[in-house]
Structures are given as C-alpha cells and as structure tokens.
Structure 1
Amino acid sequence: MAKKKQVKQEHDFSTYVKWFWGLFLAGLVFIALLFLLARFEVFGDMPDHTVLENPKTNLATEVISADGQTLGKFYFNDNRTPVGYEDLPQHLIDALIATEDARYYSHSGIDAWGTLRAVVKMGSGGGASTISQQLAKQLFHGEGSSNIAERIIQKIKEWIIAIRLERQYTKEEIIAMYFNIYDFGNNADGIRSASRIYFNKEPRDLNIKESAMLVGMFKNSSLYNPRPHRNPIGTRNRRDVVLSQMEKYGYINEAVKDSLQSTKLDLNYSPESHKEGVATYFREFLRDFMKQWIEDNPKPDGSKYNLYGDGLKVYTTIDSRMQQHAEYAVQQHMPRLQAEFDHQNTPQRNPTAPFLGLTQSEIDGLLKRSMKQSERWRHMKYDLKKSDEEIIKSFSQPTQMTVFSWKGEIDTIMKPLDSMRYYKSFLHPGMMSMDPQTGHVKVWVGGMNYKHFQYDHVKQSKRQVGSTFKPFVYATAIDQLHLSPCDKLPNTQITIEAGKYGNTKAWTPKNAGGEYGGSITLKSALANSVNTITARLMDKVGPQPVVDLVKKLGVEAEIPVVPSIGLGSADLSVYEMVAAYATFANQGVYNKPVMVTHIEDKNGTILYQFKPESKDVLSAETAYVTVNLLEGVTESGSGRRLRHKGADKWSAVYKEIITGYPYELSNPIAGKTGTTQNQSDGWFMGMVPNLVTGVWVGAEDRAAHFRTITYGQGASMALPIWGMFMKSCYQDDQLNVSKGEFLKPQDLTIEVNCAKYDPEGQGDASPEEDIPEELEF
C-alpha cells in the first residue's frame, strides 16, 4: 500500500511539473504570439523605420533676434523648440537617469530586472518603464487606457518601439528626444521652453536644483506645477526626491544634497505667449509677413509650410538689447505723461473728457462708430445674429472685465460703453529704429501693451506728422536751388495765391508764436520751426517736387499736391518717416527697411534670404546739408533739451513728465520735433550716423489731446522717450551706437559754417532759454 501511495504521489508530482512547464511554455508562446501580432500591426499601426527616423511632433516657429536671442514663438498647442544633447548640462542628464532609469546605459530598451521587480511587487516598488519606453509612449501612444487588456497591448507596443528606438538612435539622442518631447505645462513644451518659462534661461545655463525640479516634473507636470497658485510645495518636495536620488547614485554628495534641499524653488516665471514678452507688436507684424511668405513659397512637394508646427526659424534684424531699452523708455515715460493728461481731464476741468472741442452729439457719434468697429459688435452681429438695437443696449449693461492701467490690470464691473471711453483716454506710443546703412530695423515698439491695445502704431497707424515734414521741403530746395543753411530769408508773412499750383486755395500760414520781422538763416528757421520760411521755400520749389521726393523716400501714402503739406498736414506712419529720414543719414541712398534676414527649416536649410533694395534719391551733398540743418534743432532749437545738464527752469516745469533727464548728450545729433494742430500728435525724429529713430505719441482719437502746447508738443510727448532710449544705448557697452560726426562729402560745395558770414548771429531768431515752445503747424 505504501509503495502504491508513493508511486501515485510521484505520478501526481510529475503531472504538476508537466502542467507547470506546459503552462509556462504556453505563456511564452502566447507572449511571443502577442509580440508577433503587435509587430505585424494586428493590434493597430506601429511606426516603421521612416516614422521612427522622423517622428511627428509639432515644432513651434522660433523668432530670433540679430543678437541671437529668442524674441518669441508661433505655435497653437505645442510651444516646442528642440535642442541637441550637447546643449543639455550634465547634471540635468544625471538627474534624469538617477530618477527615471538608473540602469539606462546597461539595457537595450527594456530593463529586465526592473520589469521582474515590478511583477513580483505588483507595481508597489515603482514602475519598470525605461526612458526609451517612456519616449515611445510620448511619441506614439500618449496616456494609457484603463482597460487591462488594452494596457497590456500598449505595454507590448512600448517594448517593441523602445527596442527599435535603441537600434535607431544612440543613448544620447534618446535622452535629448525625451527632454524635447515632454510637456512641462504652462506652454512649456520641451526642455528649452521649460527652462525659459520657469527660469528665464537656456537649458545649458540651468543649475543643479533647477534641473532637479524640471526632472521631478516628469512624474506628473500637472500635479508638480511650481506656480504659486498650483502646487509649489509638492513641486519642491518632488525636487528634493530627485536630489536624494542623485546623491544615492553618486552624482552629488550628501553635503550638496542637504544644501540644495534647504533652498527655495527660486522661479523666474516668464510666460511665452503671443501677447506677452519682448517685441510683441513686431512679432504680430511678423506673423502676417510669414503668412504671406508661406502663401507665396510652397514646399517642393507643393504643400504649404505650417507656421505653427514645422519648426521654422525666422532670423530678424531686431536687436533684443535695443528693443528692451526702447520698451523700458516707453514704460518709464508714458505713465508720467498719462498722469498729467488725466490730471488735465478730470470731470471738473473737462466735462467732455477725454475729448476737447466736441459737442455731446459729436462724442455720441464717435462712440457709436467705435462700437461698430469693436470685437463685441462683430461677435454679437455675425456670430450671435443680434439686431443693432440689442447690441447697442448691451453696451450699457454692466459686465465683469479686466482693464489696463499703468499700475497693473484691474478686475472691475463696468459698462462696455464706459470702458470704451476709458480706453480712449490713453495716450499711445509708436517707435522704430533703423540702421540707415543697411536698412535693418533694430527696434519696433508698436504700443504700450499688446494684450490690451493691439493696434500697431509703427506701420499700421498713420498720423499727421506736423513739422517733421519740413526737412523734405528744405531738402528739395537745397537740391534744386543749391541753398546753404546760412542763407537768409525774410521772416514775414507770405500768401501763396489761389490756383498758383493747380486747383489750390490761397494760403497764408502763420507762425505759432506770432513773431515776425527781420531775416533768419535756414538753419535757425528749421531749428525753431518757423512756418513762414517753410512757406517761402515751398513757393520757390512748388509742392510737386516735394511730393516726388517724399515718394522716392519710400512714402506710399497719398499726399495732396498743395503748398500746405509743407507744414505737415499729411498722415504718415512711423515706419515711413524713419525710412525717409534714414536716407539723409545714408548720404542720400534710400534703403527699404529690412525686418527678416533669412528663414530656415527645422534642419537648418535656408528657405529665404533677403535681398537689399536701395536706390539713390539725393546727392550726398544735399543729404549732408539737410543733416546739418537738422543738427541745428538739437543745438539751438526745440531739441536742445537733449543737451541740458539739469537744474534749469525747464526741468522744474516739466518735472512730472521728464524721464531720464538730464540726458546730457554731447555727441552730434540731427533731429526734428513735430506737433500737430490742437496738440493731437507729438513727434521726434532723431538721428546719429548709424541709428535713426522715430517716436510718435498721441491718443487713439485726435479729439483727445492736451489743451496747450506746454505738454502737447513733440518735445514733451515724444522726445523724452528718444532721449532715455539713446542714453540707455550709450550706457550699454555691448552696443556700438555712434557718437561720431556725420560723414561729410569730400567735394562739398555748399557752405555749412554760418559763422563765416554772421559771426555774431545777427538777424537770427533766438528761442526762449527757459521754457522753449516750438513754432509748429
């Protein structure tokens, strides 16, 4: 009996062994079959060799400045700009390996020990996914399914893809791809965007604790989000876990770990959005430029480039340092100027504020026209199909909104109609700088806050230019009549008869100061913006040659051929004015402004290379003499406050709106202020040999303006921005803004040294020494 029992037990045991090995082999065959079926795409598409070589990821178009800085990006959902492995600091790579895949360099895509540990511990000891598997998931699958069977299939696919990736790429390339593909939240797609957005630096400049924080976010970027209103404490704790892992695997020592864990996150949050950052108005202009370029330049296969996904690189002429100096000057001057404007337009001082000289009926009409131009009107009219009566009524219904102020955004409840009137009370700037020799645009400030004011005052806006137009009249007279800055004309009123130049009315301009008598040199007349002298020159040459010259200088706007244009009645853009003035500084050669030097695809292939467009407009002699005239504006005219050393009566009167004063600029500067009727527009055009800059300031509607010329002139509204900008540029050792003389032609035949003829300056009008007011149109 015992023997039979023993034989039976041995039989049963061998049966169990057979079943075990049978099931084991069946499992292996089943797993192998699953892998085989997955490989043959029975469970869905698998990436082939070509797809693995060029995985589809949306890459943002990057806008790059002349000095190599990223100004911004164009993207829809993915703000991704890839970087190479060589651009990643070693401690960032160490943090990733220590935390995510300690045996990364010893496996071929699948970590067998990690997988076995995960199976035995049922996942409680951590996952088994390698960096290669996680990359496979990010590239081709995304988040896992809640269905167990689907999760198993997905895991098998990840294993296969991971092995293929290991065969296709080096370990270093896989690490770089993983850092580039991950979404760190807050539009931080990939390590370059993440390091710029969270720390405002390039990946190569990250320190150890910053690298640890970003690697910690790989666990869950939504949960471990460092922004104050999200989860900064959890993010810091996760960062400290990464630092502990780095110490565990010998990448840092315990002292370094303890020291870093005691520090704060030290974020420098710098969001990258289309409405924030540097050069926002320029970037929006560039978006339209790129859309047109894409339309005109298809790919070799006939398809169109994707501005938001093809990873183009647009190299621009903008200098990020100059741009920041310009934006800072605007941010410093405009709040002070606005404060004075608001002070003059309280309900007690001006019941129709911010408008002057309009009846209530005219104001109602102005606001109604603005209603019909608003986004609210468009949305309700065409999207919601509302009647005009319903839309107008909605403008009087209080609603919650966020409005702009110089002290920060304000959350408030306001009627849309009241908000329109509130926004119309703001003064706006427009500013552009250009290298006259190359045509490269260095600065583009289209406004003060793109999020709230999206109208560009560099190229889109055209405003009355006032006395900044006068140099075109003078240049025409010099070119035709060979006049010298030392020549004198009588400062008496002149009437240009009706019909003398076509179908024109009689015109008798007046000097703004009402002063007449004697004779004035051309240099003094332009410096002090004497209208009668400009009228006499216009009468000598006629309006048609002036218009012809202006057209040659790149102005595209229609200009009426009438004598009164000489005092600046034409509406031109800052863009046109800067390019025209740059011709004077470039010895009479006009260069069409250049904003983009070249465009590359994601592989560095050049797709576009700009071709300079230039033409001779004036002789070098005429251009130089015009510049010499304009130098007089900053030597003895309305621009001479750029030379002040402070502590004078002028600074005492204007102390509320002066910015960066005293400027104390002693180098040669050619310039011209401009002020239009009713002080609606203030201009300053300023030039040094290698930089021409134009500044305009004014309200959206011309009926909103200063009451008097004291604050409403170009020397008070626009010149301070130019002065502070140039002062900052000269203090920046990295920039090479000229302090030298304008280039004088060797064969100059026109005398520009007026001291030879009038040593004591007899007959010249002398501007006030305390509070200068320019004699403007």
Structure 2
Amino acid sequence: MSPSKLLRILLLITGGLLVTMIVCLLGAYLYVSARLPKVETLADYKPPVITRILGDDGSLIAELYRERRILVPVSTMPRQLIEAFVAAEDAKFFQHKGLDLESIARAALKNIRAGGIVQGGSTITQQVAKSLLLTPERKFSRKFKEAILAWRMEKHLTKEEILYLYLNQIYLGHGAYGVQAAAENYFAKNVEDLSLAECAILAGLPQAPSRYSPYRHLKKAKDRQRYVLERMTQEGYIPAEDAIQALSEELVILPRSKPQIPGAAYFTEQVRRYLEKTFGSDLTLTGGLEVHTTMNLAMQQAAQQAVRNNLRNHDRRQGYRGPLRILDKQEQELFLAEQNTTWPEAPPVGERLEGLLIKGDKKELVVRIGSFTGFIPRKDLSWAGNLKIVAEGQPVKIDSNKKRVQMPVGSVLLVEVVRHQKDGKLDLALAQEPQAQGAMVALDPRSGEVKAMVGGYDFSQSQFNRAIQAKRLPGSAFKPLIYAAALDKGYTPATIVLDTPLIYREKGEQGQEKEWKPKNYRGSFSGPTSLRRALARSYNVVTIKILQDIGVRYAIGYAKKLGIESPLAADLTLALGSSAISPLELATAYSVFANGGVRFTPNYISKVVDRNGKVLESVDPADFPEGADDQQKLIRNPSERVISPDTAYLITNLMESVVQNGTGFRAKALGRPAAAKTGTTNDQKDAWFAGYVPQLIAVSWIGYDQERSLGKRETGSRAAAPAWVEFMKEALQSLPRQHFPVPDGIEFRPIDSDTGLLAPEDGSDVVFEAFASGTAPTHYAIESKQPSAQDFFKLDMEDL
C-alpha cells in the first residue's frame, strides 16, 4: 500500500475517532446537563444560618445551629480579605469564565504522577458549584458536572455574587462556616475589622482547616499565612513591604466566647424545646431565627447563684460525707502529674477542683493541686464535724451520728480556691457537691414574663428542669389558694375559726375503720384564731376546717382558674398541699394575687422573627403588619381576670402578715413590702418559699430527686427561703420600693382581735383590719358575750 493511501486511511480513522469523541462528549454533555440542578436557584441562596436567642435587653444569650454561619455582604468584607482568598485559591478568578484550563492541566499531571487524585485545580466558581449544587465525592463524573455548572454560573451571576456565595459558604474550621463566623472564632472580631495578617490566616484555611488551625497548629498556620501573603505579592495585590509587616505582626488568637451564658442553660433549653415543637427542628437550627426572650440576664444569673449557694449550705448542714476517693503512692504521682498539666498556673479564685491531702494537724489541712500547695484552716471545718487525719493506708471511717470522719493521707478532696497568697500558695475551703436539688422561677406578675428559670444545681449534670417538669407536694405553700377561695365564699381576714383537735373516721377497703388526726406543725392548738393569724402561723387544722366548709370541689375549681393544671386530690388533704404541682404552676397562681386578680399565661418568648424580618410570633399584636390574616398571627400571652381586685389584695395583705408575724419572716430582709408563704411537707421531703413584691414574684423549691427527708428542721423557712431572699435582694436592686396598691373597694375597720368584731378605735387590743366592700362586721365586740367563732366540727369535738 502506497504511503499516500496509508496516510488517507489514518486521516479517515483519526477523523472518525475525533467525530465519535465529539459526538460522545456532546451526548454526555446533553445527558448530564439535562439532569443538573438549575444555577438560577443560587439567586435565592439561603444556607443554614444560626438562630440567635436574645435576653429582654437584646443581648445575645445563646445560639442554635447545625452550621455556625453568619451571612455578610461582600461590601462589608475588607478588600484585602477577598484578594487573599483569590490569590490563594484562584488567582485568575477575575479573568476566567468559570474554568481555569491551565490549572486543570497542571493538576491532572500531578494526579497522573501520584497515581490518584491529590490536587483538584478547581476554581472558586467550581468550589461553589460543588458545595451548593453537587455531592462531594471525588470522581471524574462529578468534576465534569462541576465544570458545566461553573460555566453556567459565570453566565448568570456576577463575580461579586459568586464571591458572596463562596465566602459565606466555605468551612473554615472549629464549627465556623463563612468568613464572619471564622473572624469571630479566631480573633473575636467582625470581618470588617480584620487586619491583613488576620485575613491571610483565614485565606490559608480552606485547603485543610484542621491542619492549619491557629488554635492547634499555630506554626503551620503561620507557614500557610506566609504562602498567602507571597501569592498576594506575586499577583500585585499588596507591595512586598506590606507582606513583610503582616508576617511580623504578632497574632492574638482570641477564642470566641461561647454565647451560652453561664447559669442560663435551663432557660435556653426550654426555649429550644418550644421552638422545635412550634417551628420544627430544621427551621430552629438552620433558619436564622431571632428569638426575643423575657429573660433578664442579671436576674437569671442571680437566681442560678442563689440556688447553688443554698444547696451548698444545705448540704453542709447535713455533714461531711468523706473524701472522693483514696489513692496509693503510684496513683498519687499520676494524679499530681495530671493536675500539673491541667493547672500550669494557679487555679482562679472561686474554682472548685480536686486536690490531694498530704498532711493534717490541729491547725490546718495541707492539700496539693499539681505543683501548688494549699491550706484549709481547721477553724473553717466546723461544718464537717470532727475530722481526724490518719496515716496513709488506713481506711475511711464515718460516724454520721457523732459527726466524726476519719480519712487518710492520700485522700482526694473537693476544694474551692478562696484566695492566692503572695508566695504562690493557696487558701482553700473544703467543699462537696450537693446531693439535693433546687429550682427557682421568677415572673413579672404584670405581664407573665418569666424573668429567670433555674431547673437544678448544674445543667451539665442533669438537664431535668425541676422548675417546670418536676411535680412535688407544695405543703403549706398551697394554703393561700384555699384562703383566697374562702374569701370569695364570705370569709374575711377577721373571721374566727377554732383551732382545735380533729378526728376523721372512714371505712377502709377491707371494712376496717381508719382514723386521720391532722395536727399543726408544732403539735399544739390555739383555740379561737383569726384567718390572718392562722395563715401567718400556717395552722393546718384551721385550713382543713375552712376547706370542708367551702367544699373541696369548689376549692379545686378555684385553684384551676388561678393556673394550677396538675390533678388535685379531691379530699381534705388538699388543704395541706397533698397534690403535686410544679414551681411554675405555684408562681402562676401567686402572680394572680400580685397582679390584682388578672392571670397571665407565663411566657418566656416575646417575639420570634425569621431571617427576612417577618414576625412569626409575638406577644404584641402591633408587631404584625396591618391587613395580615388573623390565621397567620401567632399571638401569645393571653390574660384573663379570674378573681376580683379586692380578693387579690386581701390575700396579699394576709400574706404580708406571714412575712411580718409568721413563718415568712426571712423576707423582711428585703426592707420593702413583701407577701410570702412557706411550704414544708411530711418528713421535710420538700421545702418551698413563694413570695412577691408588686413587680416580681419568685418561687424557691428544694428537695431530693429520689424523695427523702431534707433533714431535721429543714423547713421551707430554713431550707428554701435563703435562696429566695438572696435572689430577691439582687433582682430588686434596680426596682423601686413600692407598696401593694389598695383597690377602691377595700375598707379598713378597727377590730377586736379576740372576737373579730368591731371595736372602739381607742380600745385596748384593737387592730385595723382590711375588708372587701360590705363584708366588715356591723356589731361591736362589747355586744357579744361569745367569740363569733365558726366551728363546723362540734360533733367531732363531742366525740373526743
């Protein structure tokens, strides 16, 4: 065959192959492109962004997210930041149309030599296409799709729009998506405040965020920074002098302070649960909601600290339980080595941590924390009983009855740092973590806004929110609800009831006779007693008599309209708080008294706004635009008048006597008008203190999750009131001193305290009593020979 004929055949074969290749590529392009996502969807770019939870003053208290991203416009970003990313990732970004063929060829050669994919050669546009429109697998088919989409994107979007997508979408390590989140993460700055040196650090992260993390690998991060600055110089973005200056700049890595405020976890967790229930998990975690809550940050932190302090003090009253554990010689060395790593510098004042007991004498205990030595004075150990330090290897002995504890050298103790001495030594206090739990909830009675909510000692140890999820017996804290119901049934604060012994008899299931002999806390009886005195002294028998008179069913209905939702016992034990309720329920009921008879549904969210500024939910109808469909308005916080202003004032006035002359005396420490009531259950398993001033109501509870006695004499006054007082002192600092407003219908009359009848104003043993209009007595005590006592149990008395 002649050479010319052979050449023609080769040309025909080559042409055929070329045509076939072109047809195949065209077919593949048509097949693949028809199935690719539309780049037009990028115009409506809505990536996952954080939901921000705000306090009542607009301060950030928590964030919820799957990807921590904060969208910022390109116009906000420093020009040097954009140039740093372009120089490092795609030098020809502003010239190419989506593909950089030279980079692709260079990457292909490297991959062939390496025998696998080691370099991608992708442009910024391709990276956006992969991130937003494709899956991340490393295959040729994906690269082919990526190239098509990049070319299409360049036709539909401007370079600035592509940069907006890229710089807000890219992952930059440690949970930060986008340049704003990364600027906060590494430098505690907004993106517009970044220096050239900081811009170069961020631009060096996309290749391997964990490898070049300035937190973990600062030297590698600096090496990558040098590369970015060199590329910026080569591309003409900055002069060499600026690069040298940026390289010499000392980097200050300031980890972003977590927005979760200490002490606010129970509140924000309740907000999260509500949001997910109402709006769904996706919108809550990715929708960029702005959630305005009712939490007052100062009050919240004061409440958490008050609960913690009270639990610790209660725990100390129960005695010392001994060391955490005992270590042998080898274990002691390991322990101190670990402490050296944890505490290379002295632990801060207030820190609670473990220390190793190395010596003890009559003067002090000596404790090691890594390389630091601390001292616990014996004079500060009276709460722990008689501590005897013995030689290493001897057992721990605890005699709780005689308050004696024997523990050996080598014991691990929980201690708290009190102060740092000038010579580097530490003053310590012996500590132990409480076993009991506590809760507190505080409301503004005028709006129902929850200002503070504490569900336990430590959210990290237990997420169970005892302020709203726990149902415990309120004891005598329930009595004001019974007394309020009685006031609406014709009773007055001056009504006299006989505080005398009672016996109730009933048939058991097997036909046997059972007896119930209710008694007062101290076991004694006071005879003729006014309603005011009975509530102030928390007399059980008087409350039972009142309940039987007004009717159990009536009292249950009354409690329900005050806001009690839990089931209530339909028997006379209701008078003693025998039905379990939550602290929030009790606070709701008391808020009706404080608010003049109007009940608000407790609320902890005032407004929810979506990422576009649309109000999704609000307590204020004015937040919704005019003409909005009523069905689109989610308005919370309904209010309703449930009792009269007169009744609300009278029960408040009675509860003021609880503070001034009864079991709520600790509230006098506030130095302002306050109404309150204690609650203690059988065997001191639950202790309560609930009270209010005109602007704020708070309920304090303490008890064990697995019910058992809090200890001898651990009543509401002793076990729960201190937390209430500590919190209220802090919370009320910014609120003016106010008296409870007196409704127009209230009348004040001079009353003989023995009979509850009118008395001459200048007579002896006269008190001025408050009455609703038309309910004051009309007869004088001198006209009556017998006290106007209401004794509804004469038959029971005759049986005694």
Q: Same fold (TM over 0.5)?
A: yes
Shift of 1:708: 0.9
The 3 A distance-change label for structure 1 pair 691 and 350 is: same
Tell whether the 8 Å contact from 1:91 to 1:208 is kept in structure 2 after alignment. no
Amino acid at match of 1:687: Y
Indicate the residue corresponding to 1:692 in structure 2.
697
- Alpha-carbon offset, residue 26 of structure 1: 14
Q: Offset of 1:253 from its aligned partner?
A: 8.3
What does residue range 486-501 of structure 1 map to in structure 2 within 5 Å?
487=494, 489=496, 492-495=499-502, 498=505
Distance, in Å, in 2 between the alignment partners of 1:204 and 1:683 is 52
Deviation at 1:477, TM superposition (A): 2.4
- Once the two structures are superposed, the pairs formed by residues 724-739 of structure 1 within 5 Å of their partners are 724-730=726-732, 737=735, 739=737
Match of 1:46? Answer: 36
* 1:141–1:742 Cα change, 3 Å: same
SS at match of 2:129: helix
Q: Which residue of 2 aligns with 1:330?
A: 307
Which amino acid is 2:720 matched to? A
Q: What is the alpha-carbon distance in structure 2 between the residues aligned to residue 209 and residue 127 of structure 1?
A: 27
Quick one: distance in 1 between partners of 2:86 and 2:760? 83
Taking a change above 3 Å as real, the CA distance of residues 626 and 429 of structure 1, as seen in their structure-2 partners, is same
Gaps of 5+ in 1: 1-14, 16-22, 296-303, 354-404, 409-422, 645-664, 765-777
1:413-432 to 2 correspondence within 5 Å?
A: 426-432=435-441
- 1:47–1:280 CA distance, 2 compared to 1 (3 A): same
Residue 94 of structure 1 and its aligned partner are, at CA, apart by: 5.4
Q: Among residues 139, 144, 157, which one is paired with 2:132 in the alignment?
A: 139
Q: Tell me if 1:454 matches 2:463.
A: yes
Residue aligned with 2:747, SS? coil
Equivalent residue of 1:477, what SS?
A: helix
- CA offsets, 1:170-201, max 9 Å, x none? 55554443343233444444456556666778
Cα 1:88–1:438 change in 2 (3 A) is: farther
For residue 459 of structure 1, report the CA deviation from its aligned partner.
2.2
- 2-structure distance, mates of 1:61, 1:599: 10
**Do 2:39 and 2:149's aligned partners in 1 also have CA atoms closer than 8 Å?**
no
Q: 1:119 to 1:436 in 2, by over 3 A?
A: same
- Alpha-carbon deviation of 1:572? 0.5
Moved more, 171-180 or 616-625: 171-180
Please name the residue that 1:743 is paired with. 741
Which aligned pairs between 1:118-197 and structure 2 lie closer than 5 A?
A: 130-141=123-134, 143=136, 145=138, 150=140, 157-158=145-146, 160-162=148-150, 164-165=152-153, 168-169=156-157, 173-191=161-179, 194=182
2:377 maps to which residue? none
C-alpha change, 1:478 and 1:198, in structure 2 (3 Å) is farther
Q: Residue 540 and residue 283 in structure 1: after superposition, are their counterparts in 2 closer, same or farther (change >3 A)?
A: same
In the TM superposition, what is the alpha-carbon distance from 1:591 to its structure 2 partner? 1.5
TM-score by length of 1: 0.66
Whether contact under 8 Å (2:99, 2:123) holds in the other structure is yes
Cα separation, 1, equivalents of 2:765 and 2:196: 72
Q: Which residue of 2 is the match for residue 631 of structure 1? A: 656
Question: Which of residues 546, 566, 575 is equivalent to 1:557?
Answer: 566
RMSD between superposed Cα atoms in Å: 5.2
Cα distance in structure 1, aligned partners of 2:716 and 2:79: 54
Of 467-476 and 126-135, the range deviating more from structure 2: 126-135
Which stretch of the first structure deviates more once superposed, 562-571 or 635-644?
Answer: 635-644
Query: How far off its partner does 1:41 sit?
Result: 5.2
- Provide Cα deviations, 1:332-379, integer angstroms capped at 9, x if missing partner: 44344334446279983459x9xxxxxxxxxxxxxxxxxxxxxxxxxx
Distance 1:552 1:282 in 2: 26
Q: Please tell me whether residue 672 in structure 1 is matched to residue 684 in structure 2.
A: no
Query: 1:472–1:550: 8 Å Cα contact kept in structure 2?
Result: yes
Q: CA deviation at 1:112?
A: 6.3
Contact 1:495 1:506 in 2 (8 A): no
2:722 aligned with 1:717: no
- In structure 2, what is the Cα distance between the partners aligned to 1:256 and 1:331? 53
Which residue identity does 1:715 align to in structure 2? Answer: S
> Given the superposition, is the C-alpha separation of residues 262 and 690 from structure 1 closer, same or farther in structure 2, using an over 3 Å criterion?
same
Pair 349,742 (structure 1): closer, same or farther in 2 beyond 3 Å: farther
Which digits, 9 at most, give the CA deviation of each residue in 1:619-638, with x for residues without a partner? 01111222222233444444
| d(CA) in 1 for partners of 2:462, 2:121 | 52
Which residue does the alignment assign to 1:265?
253
The 5 Å alignment of 1:399-478 reads 426-478=435-487
The one-letter code of the counterpart of 1:695 is S
Closer/same/farther in 2, CA of residues 533 and 306 from structure 1, 3 Å limit: same
Do structure 1's residue 583 and structure 2's residue 569 form an aligned pair?
no
Partners of 2:444 and 2:697 within 8 A in 1: yes
Give the corresponding residue for 2:788: none
CA distance in 1, matches of 2:516, 2:565: 26
Q: Cα distance, 1:436 vs. partner?
A: 2.0
Among 68, 75, 83, which residue is 2:71 paired with?
83
SS of the aligned residue for 2:676 comes to: strand
Counterpart of 2:576, as a letter, is L
AA in 1 matched with 2:711: R
Percent identity, aligned pairs only?
A: 29
**What is the letter of the counterpart of residue 446 of structure 1?**
G
CA spacing shift, 1:31–1:342, aligned 2, 3 Å:
farther
AA aligned to 1:749 is E
Partner of residue 790, structure 2: none
Aligned partners of 1:87 and 1:750: how far apart in 2? 70
Alpha-carbon distance in structure 2 between the residues aligned to 1:253 and 1:759: 96
Shift of the 752–739 alpha-carbon distance from structure 1 to 2, 3 Å rule, reads farther
Kept in 1: contact 2:185–2:254 (CA 8 A): no
Deviation at 1:52, TM superposition (A): 2.3
* Local SS of the residue matching 1:433: strand
Report if the CA contact (8 A) 1:433-1:578 is conserved: yes
CA distance in 2: counterparts of 1:212 and 1:753, whole angstroms: 83
8 Å CA contact 1:65, 1:319 repeated in 2: yes
Whole-Å Cα distance in 2 between the matches of residues 724 and 257 of structure 1?
54
Q: Distance in 2 between matches of 1:724 and 1:244?
A: 60
Over 3 Å counting, the alpha-carbon distance change for 1:493 and 1:226 in structure 2 is: farther
Distance in 2 between residues matched to 1:511 and 1:166, nearest whole Å: 84
**In the aligned structure 2, how far is the partner of 1:279 from the partner of 1:488?**
45
Secondary structure (helix, strand or coil) at the match of 2:489 reads: helix
Shift of 1:675: 2.0
Q: Which has the larger radius of gyration?
A: 2
In structure 1, how many angstroms separate the alpha carbons of the residues matched to 2:667 and 2:439? 20
Distance 1:707 1:338, change over 3 A: closer
For the Cα contact (< 8 Å) 2:93–2:124, is it kept in 1?
A: no
Q: Which amino acid aligns with 2:739?
A: E
1:218 paired with 2:206, answer yes
Q: Counterpart in 2 of 1:619? A: 644
Residues 441, 467 of structure 2: 8 Å contact kept: yes
Deviation at 1:258, TM superposition (A): 5.9
Task: Determine the structure 2 residue equivalent to 1:348.
Answer: 398
Q: Which among 686, 695, 706 is matched to residue 710 of structure 2?
A: 706
CA drift of 1:680 comes to 1.4
Alpha-carbon contact 1:53-1:168 (below 8 Å) kept = no
Quick check: 1:231 aligned with 2:238?
Answer: no
SS at match of 1:481: coil
CA distance change for structure 1 residues 305 and 217 in 2, over 3 Å: closer, same or farther? closer
- 1:495 alignment partner AA: L
Q: 1:200 to 1:97 in 2, by over 3 A?
A: closer
Cα contact 1:520–1:763 (8 A) shared by 2: no
| TM-score, normalised relative to structure 2 | 0.64
Q: Which runs of 5+ in 2 are unaligned?
A: 1-6, 8-13, 114-118, 323-383, 385-396, 404-413, 418-431, 618-633, 754-758, 768-800
Considering fraction of residues, name the structure with more helix. Answer: 1
- Counterpart residue number, 2:577: 568
